[in-house]
A = this chain, B = another copy of it.
Amino acid sequence: MKWISAIIKPFKLDDVRTALTAVGVQGLTVTEVKGFGRQKGHMEVYRGAEYVVDFRPKLKVEAAIPDELLEKTMQAIQKAAHTGKIGDGKIFVFELGQCVRIRTVEAGHDAL
């Protein structure tokens, strides 16, 4: 099993979710995060003093998937989250050791 963790632009969430559902991903977990990277922050002025907000709001979308879905899933995210502008984010892939569904105690693939 694989664990996909994608950092995306927040307004792409709906597209990404739709794309993932389409390829057969059954569940996902989303976290609000702040990202720092090549995309630069914007300048704010508060009462005359300027400052840069370096961190940009991003979403982290995580999904556990069976190995065979890896390729399709990555392409799906890639396409759905793409704008071509800097700051689009990244997809990270991890090995997932085990997975259990709390409700049923199913484990492994059945629990995804």
Contact = CB atoms under 8 A, between A and B. Distances in A.
A91 to B, nearest CB: 4
A36 B30 contact: yes
Given A91-B100, A92-B99, A100-B90, A17 B29 contact: no
Interface of A: 2-3, 6-8, 17, 26-38, 54-55, 58, 60, 64, 74, 77-78, 81-103, 105, 111
* Number of this chain's copies in the complex: 3
A111 B101 CA distance: 29
B96 A92 contact: yes
A8 to B, nearest CB: 7
Nearest to A84: B103
